[in-house]
Amino acid sequence: MSKNLTALVEVALFAALAMVLSFIPDFIGWFNPSFGAIPLVLISLRRGAKYGLLAGLVWGLLHFALGKVYYLSFSQVLLEYILAFLAMGLAGYFAPSFQKALKAKEQLTAVKQAFLAASLAVFVRYLIHYIAGVIFWGSYAPEGMSAYWYSFTVNGTAGGLTLFVVLLVLGILIPTSPRFFLPNR
């Protein structure tokens, strides 16, 4: 199998895994972490930005195929299901320095790079959700609460919890399975 085809198969598998993890029941209500972010950061650090962005796009599109889209308007759907999920692939821009540190057995540097990558991806994704929350979901805020604060509390809490679970997984995987992040290209 060609190396490009192998990478594309991995993209499909990681996007599908992200979608499956999206079906974990909400146990904290609106403040639920996005467990699907975990495989997106992993594929991005494993294969780089090009494949990470593609995996994010596929994950976003899978929401349409499986009927998990909350549609208010075209621009809301574009922001929340295309751009926000695509943003998870931004972690891949750290892949070269992350993998270089792994190959040099500089584990602390690798962990720092991975944490920065995950932080960037999750921050941008939830910034997009925050903007969409202010514009499109602000009318759902409790009486007396501004759309800005409402979106911040909902998306900020979900983003913080998402980042926590992603960093936890990275903190476990990098020391125990560093070869996972170094595919035979």
- The number of domains in the chain is 1
Q: CA 29, 57, 140: angle at the middle one, nearest 5?
A: 30
CATH number at residue 64: 1.10.1760.20
pLDDT the model gives residue 30? 57
Domain that holds residue 102: 3-181
Place of tokens 């490009």: 4
pLDDT for 162 beyond 80: yes
pLDDT the model gives residue 31? 62
Tokens of 38: 């975990």
Distance CA 89, CA 181 (A): 15
What pTM was computed for the model? 0.94
Q: How confident is the model at residue 126 (pLDDT cuts 50, 70, 90)?
A: very high
> At a CB cut-off of 8 Å and minimum separation 6, what does 182 contact?
46, 99, 102, 103
The Cα-based distances of 101 to 88, 96, 97, 168, 169 in angstroms read: 22, 9, 6, 19, 18
Task: Tell me which residue of 36, 45, 63, 53 sits closest to 88, measured CA to CA.
Answer: 53
Percentage of the chain exceeding pLDDT 70: 95
Query: In a 3-state reduction of DSSP, which class is residue 1?
Result: coil
> What single-letter DSSP state applies at residue 25?
P
Distance CA 166, CA 174 (A): 12
pLDDT for 165 beyond 60: yes
Q: In the chain, which ranges are E strands?
A: none
pLDDT the model gives residue 184? 82
